[in-house]
């Protein structure tokens, strides 16, 4: 999770990014950062941000920008604000880097997108770009080809990228959905494992803990999916940042780490659940290569039950 003062650098391109304000400091309202770069790649294509306003302020150098066909050259002190759903692109003027202060409102997952792009280096592969296009569509996408066509094109390529990334691990799941309930109430539900049998039904048979949520708190779960077995695990909270982050280490029949990330969206809460897990039961380990699609289907069923139960539970407690 990016924080103000965090810096990203790409030695091969000379790009340098410094986060000034992030979702953590603005309650999700804005992301502000300074970027020293020569515009290229996605930024030079015409694109739009479906729900974000983007502000560009040049600090050093010169930056070209085209907004709905209107071209402008920005010099130090000049500002251009692009409204949501507005096609635009930026381009380099000369070969020298330019330093620009960007602001995106609301923040959404733009910081995570920027971190991912810096990790990929100078020339991201086509599979990487397809996966990013699928995962970060709410943050922005090219205007051509039309979005429905992009979705069709990206889907199989993104699946290949996920399969490649998971080849050295047992299971990596990322699930996201919106909950029409206050973020504090959603946080209370996902942070307190003892509530899971109340709203995550019929997945959780029992879930017991010896006290309120805090770092180091241990809980013990007994749960099931659609497959004919039940699992027992022990979870320990390793990170707790109200009302945004809950992270726990898991041991037992499954071993891994779960991360809940809650951000405000449209008066409610956007939920993201990252679940990286290794099957420790001997039978599950042996069957993993053959039954991976079946295990993913089982996980999807369990998450659907969470999506059905979390919202009414959180609303009733808000």
The pLDDT score that the predictor gives to residue 295 is 75
As a whole number of angstroms, the distance between CA 309 and CA 305 comes to 6
The pLDDT score that the predictor gives to residue 165 is 61
Question: Which residues are paired to 279 by β-bridges?
Answer: 254
> 160 pLDDT exceeds 90?
no
Count Cβ atoms within 10 A of the Cβ of residue 130 and give its class: 0-12 exposed, 13-18 middle, 19 or more buried: buried
As a whole number of angstroms, the distance between CA 45 and CA 41 comes to 7
Fold match, 7-122 / 169-317:
no
The pLDDT score that the predictor gives to residue 80 is 98
Nearest to 184 by CA among 250, 112, 246, 140: 246
**Backbone angle region of 272, left / alpha / beta, with phi > 0 → left and psi within -120 to 50 → alpha:** beta
The pLDDT score that the predictor gives to residue 318 is 82
Q: Which CATH architecture has domain 169-317?
A: 2-Layer Sandwich (3.30)
- As a CATH number, domain 7-122 is 2.60.120.10
Show the DSSP H helices in the chain as ranges.
23-26, 110-120, 126-135, 147-166, 183-191, 196-199, 282-317
The pLDDT score that the predictor gives to residue 120 is 80
| For the chain, domain boundaries | 7-122, 169-317
As a whole number of angstroms, the distance between CA 164 and CA 149 comes to 24
pLDDT band at 283 (very low <50, low <70, confident <90, very high): very low
As a whole number of angstroms, the distance between CA 234 and CA 219 comes to 6
Across 214-236, average pLDDT: 91
- Give the whole-number percent of the chain exceeding pLDDT 70: 90
φ, ψ for residue 117 (rounded to 5)?
-65, -40
pLDDT band at 24 (very low <50, low <70, confident <90, very high): confident
The pLDDT score that the predictor gives to residue 37 is 93
pLDDT band at 279 (very low <50, low <70, confident <90, very high): low
| Sheet of strand 47-48: strand arrangement | 70-74, 63-67, 88-92, 47-48, 141-142
The SS3 call for residue 201 is: coil
Nearest to 84 by CA among 126, 61, 109, 50: 50
Across 59-79, average pLDDT: 96
Say what the pTM is.
Answer: 0.56
Rg, the chain, Cα only: 22
Q: pLDDT tens digit string along 26-59?
A: 989 999 999 999 998 777 889 999 999 999 999 9
The pLDDT score that the predictor gives to residue 162 is 65
Question: Which residues are paired to 247 by β-bridges?
Answer: 239, 259
């Amino acid at each position: 999770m990016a924080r103000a003062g965090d810096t990203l650098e790409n030695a091969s391109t000379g790009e340098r990014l410094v986060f000034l304000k992030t979702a953590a400091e603005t309650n999700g309202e804005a992301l502000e950062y300074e970027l020293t770069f020569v515009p290229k790649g996605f930024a030079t294509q015409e694109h739009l941000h479906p729900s974000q306003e983007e502000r560009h302020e040049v600090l050093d150098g010169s930056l070209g920008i085209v907004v709905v066909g209107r071209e402008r050259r920005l010099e130090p002190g000049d500002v251009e604000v692009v409204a949501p759903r507005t096609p635009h692109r930026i381009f380099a003027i000369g070969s020298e880097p330019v330093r620009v202060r960007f602001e995106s409102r609301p923040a959404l997952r733009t910081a995570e997108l920027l971190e991912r792009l810096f990790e990929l280096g100078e020339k991201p592969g086509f599979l990487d770009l397809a996966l990013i296009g699928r995962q970060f569509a709410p943050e922005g996408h090219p205007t051509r080809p039309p979005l429905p066509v992009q979705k069709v094109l990206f889907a199989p390529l993104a699946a290949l990228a996920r399969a490649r990334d998971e080849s050295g691990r047992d299971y990596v799941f990322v699930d996201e959905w919106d909950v029409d309930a206050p973020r504090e109430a959603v946080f209370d539900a996902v942070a307190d494992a003892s509530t899971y049998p109340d709203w995550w039904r019929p997945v959780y048979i029992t879930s017991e803990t010896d006290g309120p949520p805090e770092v180091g708190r241990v809980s013990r779960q007994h749960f099931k999916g659609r497959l004919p077995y039940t699992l027992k695990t022990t979870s320990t909270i390793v990170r707790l940042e109200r009302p945004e982050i809950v992270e726990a280490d898991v041991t037992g029949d499954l071993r891994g780490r779960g991360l809940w990330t809650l951000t405000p969206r449209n008066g409610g809460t956007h939920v993201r659940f990252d679940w990286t897990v290794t099957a420790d039961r001997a039978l599950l380990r042996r069957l993993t290569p053959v039954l991976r699609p079946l295990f993913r289907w089982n996980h999807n069923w369990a998450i659907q039950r969470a999506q059905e139960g979390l919202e009414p539970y959180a609303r009733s407690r808000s």
